Structure 1
Amino acid sequence: MKKIIFTITFGLFAMICANAQVLSPEVIASSGGDFQGTGTSLSWTLGEPVTETFEGSNAILTQGFHQGIYTVVNVFENPSANLSVTLYPNPVVDILNIDINNPEEVLNFTLSDLNGRMLFSQKSNESKMQINLKDYASSNYLLVIWNSKGDVVKTYKILKSDNF
């Protein structure tokens, strides 16, 4: 009976200790830091003077603690559209401002994730507009502007980040 109780106690203790393990990126370096400013951030680690990047047909393998973010998204712009749009700030933390010079018609604005799921849609003919992205996760999004005929006028890649 003592052997069973000891085995159960040891097993529970081992499970509790195993559950406390965390797999997170860690590095032991002589120096490093994180800096954040308006619209930008910088993370650095001293001790990795040389890193290598290998590219294959289906994968990119990078070496080192800090990994670069590289996203390729095709952004469409209709050359026949006479529309000047300014988006700011991008990357955005909460409010995305959209300025349109002389909107000639009602435009439809749709925000979707990179999987194509529509998250926001609004029609407007105003020269200034805001989209609140505070409740969205940090990720890349696509803002598509459609004209009243249903044609895509412009597409923009929006980076939502909580770190700025």
Structure 2
Amino acid sequence: MRSAILPCLLLGLSSGFLSGQSLERHLLAPGGNYYQDLNWSMEWSVGEPAVQDWHAGDLRLTEGFQQGNALVTAVFEQPPWSYEIELYPNPVQEVLILRKTDTQLLTIRVFDVLGQLILEDHWPGDTRRLDVHSWQAGIYLLTLKDEAGAFASYRFLKP
């Protein structure tokens, strides 16, 4: 009995000092490369078509092409929004008035709360009036975008 208690006690005490390990996947291929930039990374390899995939817990062995996790993240640097926009009255019953500080051409899009496009038009001047009296009551999202790709969005309410 005593001989069984000692190994159990040692095992219990030593388990507090053990920690898990993290294993990276490695690829053995006749050719390939890896490239990393500030915004993205790319790995590629050459080999045979994938014919077998073996799994054992967290381990994975793939015969053939590299079977990585295809995670693509596009990074787009948003141009700065440099326009001062006034939108009133909010809530609006009849006509929504938009004013800006210059005459830069902007694209106007208005979406309803379901994401459906209600209006798409261009705004070349400094003042624009949107007739909303026939629109259904609800919350709307107005987006403005310039030719460089900078954009801003505004919410307004039609009771």
- With normalisation by structure 2, the TM-score equals 0.49
* Structure exhibiting the larger radius of gyration computed from Cα positions: 2
Q: Say which structure, 1 or 2, has more relative contact order (CA 8 Å, 6+ apart).
A: 1
- With normalisation by structure 1, the TM-score equals 0.47
